[in-house]
Amino acid sequence: MKTVLLANRGEIAIRIARTCSDLGLRTIGIYSEDDANSLHLSKVDEAYKLEGKGAQAYLDIKTIIRIAKESKADAIHPGYGFLSENALFASSVKRAKIKFIGPNEKTLNIFGDKTSAKELASSLNIPVIAGTNEKTSIRQAQSFMKSLRKNSSVVIKAISGGGGRGMRVVSKTDELRESFDRAASEAKASFDSPDLYLEEYLKNYRHIEFQVIGDGTGAVSHLHERECSIQRRYQKLIEIAPSPSLNPELKTKMIEASLLLAQTVKYEGLATIEFLVNAEKNDFRFIECNPRLQVEHTVTESVLSLDLVKAQIQVASGKTLRQIKLEQKNIPEPRGYAIQSRVNMETIDSQGIANPGGGIFEKFDLPSGPGVRADSYGYAGYETNPLFDSLIAKIITYSPEDNFKQAIKRNYRSLCEFKITGVPTNLDLLKNILVNQDFRNNNSKRNFRRNGRSERGFKPNNDRAKFSSNFSNNENFQRKIPGRNNHNAPKLIEKYNNLAREALSVGDKILSENYFQHADHFTRILNEQESFKKKRFSVDSLENKDLDENKNLEEVKKEDTQNKVANDKEQVEAKVV
């Protein structure tokens, strides 16, 4: 392997390019027609323009393979998102006699489908979440809910879905039908398919995942765990390595399950096996396997002093775990704690609802110092593009001390040092979470910030929320997010929903969530417009009603006068006679 094409952009393309440079590999970058100013292009040896604009250009399999051939690339690294989990892309790259840095087509097909992944796990006696696992009717849903233990809840999910769309938690049987119908409607609007399935809803469980690596021969090693329980709308915000919640006995069982799953398919490359965990009950359930490099791989690298991208490339080059000294006996125990905070462009209103943001980075100063790492594509003067993911930067901090609160302190300080102006961000939200006592005391579960609403004692800072709300109404900001002051909202909702569905169709869950966030934003705008119209109509109706009543009153008075005059005239005529 001598030349690697990076089939991605932004911070992850920069991250991969740096490791390739360390390994002495030539790098090829790609960019869409509207992405020529992206920082990743300054980190590669050569760059080629794609046809088209926005994220869709990065999903063009034929063009990417053509560029790989023209540039004489002998390997393609997909990063995360975009085509990283696309089995067709992996097989097309193989047919072009180019190495795909990742698992093979068969493995991607297994883990790319939630049902097949759960079936594999279940066949290996790995605990899974009870569910219908297929297209489910309302009758089947009612029957499944009744089959669960008393006082159990269910979660309704869209078969074609992701990012929380078409998802409803139901605790009472008599509320199931209404929630089922609403979920089907939302799933149809988001994914063009109303098909749903049900799972048991596990309350007070944490989200913990294990990093594994395999060389394709059946040899697999684990690289310990990460905790990702702090989420909004089922999207991760803060990741921690190692988990401060696991006991040794439970961790051992989860490691065995993760390795068994990867060994069974003779996994090649990096994979993340994800679970829901209740340490108090000594219970864990398999959720899914992400067959790619994760956004949060950084925290594992920090506590193990490893370069996971380097390991990926070495395995793809044909080296075994033994040759690269990553057999299990060579994997060290995690030392200290690492925390990653995801900084996104967004505003957050007083209800905790996030709206996508954008603009020009007027000031952009990343934090630095001992134990501080910032992965970003930003620089002062860069203008963001709403057609790409809203992630600005990943702020990763490492503390070698075995002290979770000390690790939190370092991440909080680094977020405070991050100076960015020109775009709205979630920096204040992240800082508020880090100083929250439940989080600091490790009492936060997966629903700590579920759906962006205040839970478990966490409340958004009112001043920050007020500022964010005012910022979103600012005239300059409104110009950067089209649709707020015109009648394009319905078209924009349809546009972003369609883009999200296209992204999902090629397996890009990260990009689809970004598009769905934009669709949600314009849906709220449309609802505000409709609400305003209704209020205006109500006022106009009352005014018209009052006018009609006044008009009728005048007509009655006039009629009475005319009648009185006629009566007087008749009386006069009668006297004359």
Convert the pLDDT of each residue in 15-36 to its tens digit. Answer: 999 999 999 999 999 999 999 9
Q: pLDDT for 485-503, tens place per residue?
A: 456 777 777 777 777 777 7
- The sheet with strand 168-170 has its strands ordered as 168-170, 153-158, 196-201
What is the model's pLDDT at position 490? 78
d(CA 269, CA 236): 23
- Mind giving me the DSSP string for 151-210? T-EEEEEETT--TTTT-EEE-SGGGHHHHHHHHHHHHHHHHS---EEEEEE-TT-EEEEE
% of the chain beyond a pLDDT of 70: 80
What is the model's pLDDT at position 303? 98
d(CA 489, CA 522): 5
Burial code (b: 16+ CB inside 10 Å, e: under 16) for 530-540 equals eeeeeeeeeee
d(CA 467, CA 455): 21
Task: For residue 510, give the nearest of 317, 290, 315 by alpha carbon.
Answer: 290
Phi, psi of 295 (to 5 degrees): -55, -40
Task: For residue 318, give the nearest of 246, 215, 177 by alpha carbon.
Answer: 215
Looking at residue 452, what DSSP letter applies?
G
Active site residues: 292
* Alpha carbon separation from 363 to 199, 359, 419, 422, 431 (Å, rounded): 46, 12, 7, 7, 20
Looking at residue 382, what DSSP letter applies?
P
What is the model's pLDDT at position 151? 86
Query: Across residues 371-379, what is the average pLDDT?
Result: 97
* Average confidence score pLDDT of the chain: 85
What is the model's pLDDT at position 559? 59
What is the model's pLDDT at position 564? 56
What is the model's pLDDT at position 19? 98
- Tell me the longest C-alpha to C-alpha distance in the chain: 132
* Alpha carbon separation from 259 to 267, 274, 323 (Å, rounded): 10, 12, 19
Give the torsion sign (CA, 302, 238, 162, 387).
negative
Strand partners, 3: 26
Give alpha helix (H) positions in 356-508.
404-417, 427-435, 437-440, 462-472, 475-480, 489-505
What is the model's pLDDT at position 186? 85
Q: pLDDT for 258-279, tens place per residue?
A: 999 999 999 999 999 999 999 9
What is the model's pLDDT at position 232? 83
d(CA 204, CA 198): 19
Q: Which of 134-138, 378-382, 509-513, 555-559 has the highest mean pLDDT?
A: 378-382
Cis peptide bond N-terminal to 242, omega within 30: yes
- Assigned token pair, 451: 């759906």
pLDDT surpasses 60 at 505: yes
